[in-house]
Structure 1
Amino acid sequence: MIKQPSKVSVFNYGFALGVSEVFFLTSFYLSILDVSYFAVALPFSAVFLLVSLYFFIRTDKVAKTLHKQRVEREAVYSFYHKSFGIFLIIIAALICIALAYLPFIQQGGHFYILYCVPMAILCLVPCIASYKGMKLSKLNIDKVSPHIDMN
């Protein structure tokens, strides 16, 4: 049984995400060099991206329990804010790379299209969850500390 993360942090899923991006950039570099082994790195990138999504979901569950306990609200908001930015950047990069490889379908671009589009759709799940958690955390922070009107 895998132990639940004790703190709500981006680093809980960040390592697997970083390894995924290293494999993806390696395959991208190999395809630019016109080496035919670039497609070997894409499945490894996909596996590590899925592992990172799993770790995000686990950390999201912990953040929801901390949110209900009203502990570390700023940390929960910061986690969701950073996660939203990270996954939004990943989605944009994957979509741009898939669009860039459309003209190169015959030279192996179909591998990138078949990788980037589903992975971008999968990254929408934590992006939407982060956005919802960020808005919920923001609303609860505002309820606890109302703004003082100076007029």
Structure 2
Amino acid sequence: MVTQRELPVGRYGSREKRRGPRWVYWALLAAFVVAGLVVAYVAYVNLGDGPITTEPARYKIVDDKTVEFSFTVTRDDPGKDADCIVRTKSSDGDEAGVREVYVPAGGDQRTVDTVVHTSKQAVSVEVYGCSYQVPAYLRSS
């Protein structure tokens, strides 16, 4: 017959499983849920639609060094000026030209026309991005 040997309780403690207070479990669970919500909110703010969105309207390649481009700007705050960066690409994928475009305040949706001068013939044009942080040199022009 096999018997289980008892260890000295004073030396090794009892064999009963010790669990912490139940509130610690719930507090940790709540902390993880709050942390998850914070991460989701930050991702939504940084990866969601920005305050300024653009949509290309039309473009025309005038010659090997010039492109006319029109695009529509939609803002969440029509009372603020905006700065949009327009860039063109050549057939080999290189950036052929870049232009900053000043969009004055007024109207939540506005069509903007611009001319981009390029270093080589462009095959495409796009709005790289827009911001409410308009540099002083752009406002004065």
The interval holding the TM-score normalised by the smaller chain is under 0.3
Give me the TM-score of the superposition, normalised by structure 1.
0.21
Larger radius of gyration: 2
Give me the TM-score of the superposition, normalised by structure 2.
0.22
Pick the structure with more strand per residue.
2
